[in-house]
Amino acid sequence: MSDKKDKEAKAKKKGGGMVVKIGAAVALLGAGAGGAYGLVAAGVIGGGGEHEEKKEDNRPKLIKKGEEDPFAPPAKEGEGEGGGKEVEGDGGSEYRTLYFTFADEFTSNLKDSDALVQLSIACSTRRDYRVMMWLKKHELAIRSAVLTVLADTLEADVQTGEGKDRLQKRMTAAINKVLTDTEGFGGVDAVYFKTFIVQ
């Protein structure tokens, strides 16, 4: 009988050892899977999914009236009328507007006509000063684009207010295309006529 008890005791020990081994294996697998999940979630391995670094938006920002423009050149002492600080009005747009005037006039033939148009223009932006720098930097390419728009304009279009409005919008789009192609962002809100002569 004692042999029978010894065999049963050994069988229980062997079975108990197997449960411990299986439990240890499951615990190790669980710890490994949890660790791997933690590394993926932290972005250490596997790209990080939702925790991936987002690229900073580096496009010109709208500047509210009274806000400092981080890209504006420093004001020279005594600049402006009376040497005082620029004062913004309380009404209208909440954003500051800057104007860029093109140095030279634009002269072009009109489409399907012997008529010539000669004009000087300016454009505006409510974005930070980088747009002004880009307008100056790419003035040659912008002049070419504006002249192309003018050459593709019918004489009848420059005789009416609606036609001139459409021309201003087309020139704005052409300027923004040049800036977008060269700098990745346009930023020009509108084009204005300073002089406008049709001959």
The residues pairing with 78 across neighbouring beta strands, listed in sequence order, are none
Name the packing angle between helices 161-183 and 130-137 (round to 10°).
Answer: 90
Contact 57, 127 (CB under 8 A): no
The answer to which of 65-79, 82-96, 110-124, 126-140 has the lowest mean pLDDT is 82-96
DSSP 49: G
Average pLDDT, the chain: 85
Q: Which of 88, 106, 112 is nearest to 98 (CA)?
A: 88
What are the tokens at 56?
A: 């900073």
Band of residue 1 on the pLDDT scale cut at 50, 70, 90: low
pLDDT (0 to 100) of residue 89: 81
What domains sit in the chain, N to C, each tagged with a CATH number? Answer: 14-51 (no CATH), 93-198 (3.30.479.30)
Is the pTM higher than 0.75? no
| Mean pLDDT, rounded, for 128-139 | 97
